[in-house]
Amino acid sequence: SQTIHQWPATLVQPVGSPLSLECTVEGTSNPNLYWYRQAAGRGLQLLFYSVGIGQISSEVPQNLSASRPQDRQFILSSKKLLLSDSGFYLCAWKGDSRNYGYTFGSGTRLTVV
């Protein structure tokens, strides 16, 4: 079966510290992968997407970066966190079906203090 894993579930980090969030997908190959961020009570903002290894497209200029070192691994990083980086980070994978349904990971709730 196809599954998506995201960790950690929660994270509290001081301003200026680095960040690394990891997302892996099982049961598929060459998936389209996405990182979204959701502020409290708000919609989902697309941060990055990747259609293959080493291929990263950035949607919003910001303090974050993404990498795809392996086919089924997508990493979100920051060298120095800002208070405004707080939010709910979601990794998503577009399935192979024609209904364009995304499967989301369980999310990481990041609080920068």
Partner 1 sequence: GQSLEQPSEVTAVEGAIVQINCTYQTSGFYGLSWYQQHDGGAPTFLSYNGLDGLEETGRFSSFLSRSDSYGYLLLQELQMKDSASYFCAAVPLAGGGNKLTFGTGTQLKVEL
Provide the binding-site residues for partner 1, judged by CB under 8 A.
32, 34, 36, 42-44, 46, 49-51, 57, 59, 90, 94, 98-107
Cβ at position 16, least distance to partner 1 in Å: 27
CA gap 105, 95 in Å, rounded = 13
Which of 23/75 has CB closer to partner 1?
23
Cβ at position 47, least distance to partner 1 in Å: 11
Give yes or no for a contact between 108 and 38, defined as CB atoms under 8 angstroms apart: no
At residue 83, what are phi and psi to the nearest 5 degrees?
-55, -35
Which of 11/46 has CB closer to partner 1?
46
Cβ at position 4, least distance to partner 1 in Å: 9
